[in-house]
Amino acid sequence: MTTAMLFKPHCVRQEIANRLLAKVASLFWVLESTQVALMLALTRMASQNTSISVFEEKVLFVSSPYQANFTKCSLIVPESRIIASLLLQGVDGSDWDKQVRDLNVLQKRTAKTADSYATLARSRLQTMGAGLWELVLDGSAPVATHAVLAATVKFSPLFGDFMRTVVRDQFRRFATHLEARHWDAYIEDSLRSQPNMPTLSDSTRVKLRQNAMRMLAEAGFIENTRSLRLRSQQIEPAVLHYLRQHNEQYVLDCLQVCP
What CATH code is carried by the domain that includes residue 150? Answer: 1.10.3540.10
Q: Is 121 inside any structural domain?
A: yes
Rounded-to-10 torsion of CA 65, 66, 70, 76: 40
pTM: 0.75
Q: Is 36 inside any structural domain?
A: no
Stretches where the chain sits below pLDDT 70 are: 1-64
Q: How far is CA 187 from CA 24, 94, 208, 225, in A?
A: 68, 39, 10, 19
Q: Is 43 inside any structural domain?
A: no
pLDDT at position 196: 86
pLDDT at position 61: 35
Structural domains in the chain (count): 1
Q: Is 1 inside any structural domain?
A: no
Q: Is 6 inside any structural domain?
A: no
Q: Is 182 inside any structural domain?
A: yes
pLDDT at position 19: 57
* Terminal CA-CA length for the chain: 122
Q: Is 57 inside any structural domain?
A: no
**Predicted confidence (pLDDT) per residue in 28-79, tens digit:** 443 444 443 344 343 333 333 333 333 333 333 344 689 999 999 999 999 9
pLDDT at position 154: 97
Q: Cα(207)–Cα(204) distance, rounded to whole angstroms?
A: 5
- pLDDT > 90 fraction of the chain, expressed in percent and rounded: 72
Q: Where are the alpha helices (DSSP H) in the chain?
A: 3-63, 77-89, 93-97, 111-125, 130-138, 141-155, 157-161, 168-172, 180-193, 202-219, 237-245, 249-255
**Bridge partners, 14 (sequence order):** none
Residue range(s) defining the domain that contains residue 154 = 77-255
Q: Is 26 inside any structural domain?
A: no
Neighbours of 137 (CB within 10 A): 20
